[in-house]
Amino acid sequence: MRILIAEDELISRKMLQSMLTEWGYQVVVAADGSEAWRVLQEPDAPRIALLDWTMPEMDGVEICRRLRERQTPTPTFVILISARTATADIVTGLESGAHEYITKPFDAAELRARLRVAQTVTELQESVAMHSQVLLAMKEQVALIDEHGMVMFTNHAFDAMFGFAPGQQIGRPIVLFDELSSAEHAKRLAEIISKVEQSGVWSSEICHSRADGSSFWTEAQVSRVLVSGKVSYVVVQQDITQRRLAEEQTASLREQLAHGSRLTTLGHMAAGLAHEINQPLAALRLYATAVEDMVATLDVPDLLDCVKRIDQQSLRAAEIMRRMRNFANLGSNKREEIEINRLIQEVLAILEHEFKRGRVRVDVRLAEGSPCIRCDAIQIQQVLVNLIRNAVEAMNETEFDERVLTIEASVDNERVSVRISDAGCGIDPDKMDNLFKPFRSSKASGMGIGLSICRTIVESHGGSISVEPNAPRGTTFRFAIPLVEPARTA
Amino acid sequence: MTAVTQVYVVDDEEAIRDAFTFLLRSRGYTVRTFASAREFLDAYRDDWQGWLFSDVQMPVMTGIELVRELRGRNTLLSIVLMTAHENVASLRESLSEQLVVLEKPFSAGELRGILVGGES
């Protein structure tokens, strides 16, 4: 450790220098007050100074006063040395800013002991300064409050986030919920503090509004600490606005997908129902016509009329089926040009938690050159979700380290092709033929509608879907949709 | 050209086969019905002439597969496909040669139009 010795008397200076050197300190010497002051202003000035009170140019007490004005977190530890032994002098010396006062002639053992204290104090100051710098530099907003909610400390991030000048909030009640009145806020804070006392910590997500009307979200955590023997609370807040936005987008996407899925299922069921009902209706119309033919030669106009009405009503029923089918199809029929890579990435975000739960590693190879397809994004994402979920499910029995899902997009022959490959249980060869037909599920709990919907969607986009077994295990589904040249801007 | 009076009907729906028989028999056609494409092919002979009305969506062998098979054998039959599905347009597209497709439920008028048109 470095120590400054400022002493104008040569013999005393040399004596001090040899003693301190012997004790293991690095010594810097100054022969007068102005030289000492110059040394102390250097960036890496010694942290401990032994200053003689009486020196030419600038005395030790003056240096103490100047040092005190600097207000640094790591002030120089000053030991004032003087032949003045009167109590009034000692008080003057210490009040000028000196930390210790030693009278001449001094005892070497005492000086050594006092230097150890000085060393301890300066090391402590360094450590405190380091911690507080870390705290101040953190991007999380940190505040310390007392048990009444009065602010004792804030870091830069806290002040910046709420638009306060540094330290402006100290001594004021903390504001966590800006929409509450001060009485309500005090009540809420008391509840939080009692929660912290019970379970050690309280945390919550909080919405704040800025003066300009915009809002932001933080995640706040309150925990209990003891400061100078008093119960205090540390409030740490983190800006989670971006995370919440991303979460909301994912949730809304998932909602759209679920809605799209219901619509497509409805459309698919309507189409299936229409097919089933059109069969008897077709027979009904033919029968009616046959009866019409038969009674035409007889003179029973009412009967003929009745039969014609049977035919008309059959036609009407068919028309209702057609409208229902068209409605369900049109409901989600918005085609736009969109990058296949984007669709895949959004779906992967939605399914993230399912990969984690299924311990599945996902190997994604996006298409080069950002190819686009013209499609109903929700419907194509539904195909992806269906195929990917099936793949994850198929690997339920696979060893953890072999659970790899490969998703690969590429352009092939004017078509954008997506391959979804699993290392799962595979599909019974007998079932491959009927795989895409409705109501043919191979799963115990399945309705057997997922893959047939995938096919309906892919085909309605002018594409095709196929399946093949993988070697040595698993299944690969592949669908392809015509590529569109992205619109070029002039 | 002599009047074509032979009609073959392939449909897995019994009511359709039955109704065809009622209607066309009363108009002087000879009607023979089959419950599946396979059943039809088992009976089929290459010298058969007249009309074939076949449903598209049938298990095991679809109407389209039946058409391909018959074309491969240079059939003399005039073929009409029937479908209860909406995608008649795409069905027509997917069949390379011209083919009449009737959308169920079709009217007796549409049916008559086809039969009379074929005779002229």
Cβ neighbours, 10 Å, residue A314: 22
Note whether B22 contacts A287, CB cutoff 8 Å: yes
What pLDDT does residue B93 have? 64
Determine whether A425 is exposed, middle or buried from the number of CB atoms within 10 Å of its CB (0-12, 13-18, 19+). middle
Is residue B13 scored above 50 in pLDDT?
A: yes
Edge to edge, what strands does the sheet with A100-103 contain?
Answer: A26-30, A2-6, A48-52, A77-82, A100-103
Reported as a pLDDT band with limits 50, 70 and 90, residue A332 is very low
Encoded tokens for A402: 């072999």
| Contact residues of B toward A, CB < 8 A | 13, 15-16, 18-20, 22-23, 26-27, 57, 82, 84-86, 104-108, 111
Question: Nearest CA of chain B to the CA of A481: how many Å?
Answer: 16
> Counting one residue from A and one from B, how many pairs have CB atoms under 8 Å apart?
72
Question: Nearest CA of chain B to the CA of A139: how many Å?
Answer: 60
Neighboring chain B residues of A295 at a CB cutoff of 8 Å = none
Instruction: Decide if A122 contacts A25 (C-beta within 8 A).
Output: no
Measured between CA atoms, the residue of chain B closest to residue A312 is B107
What pLDDT does residue B120 have? 38
Q: What is the ipTM of this complex?
A: 0.77
For A233-249, the pLDDT digits (tens) are 999 999 898 888 888 87
Note whether B86 contacts A314, CB cutoff 8 Å: no
Cβ neighbours, 10 Å, residue A448: 15
For A425-439, the pLDDT digits (tens) are 888 887 777 787 766
pTM of the model: 0.47
Measured between CA atoms, the residue of chain B closest to residue A295 is B26
Instruction: Decide if B87 contacts A271 (C-beta within 8 A).
Output: no
Note whether B15 contacts A280, CB cutoff 8 Å: yes
What pLDDT does residue A264 have? 67
Neighboring chain A residues of B84 at a CB cutoff of 8 Å = 274-276, 278-279, 282
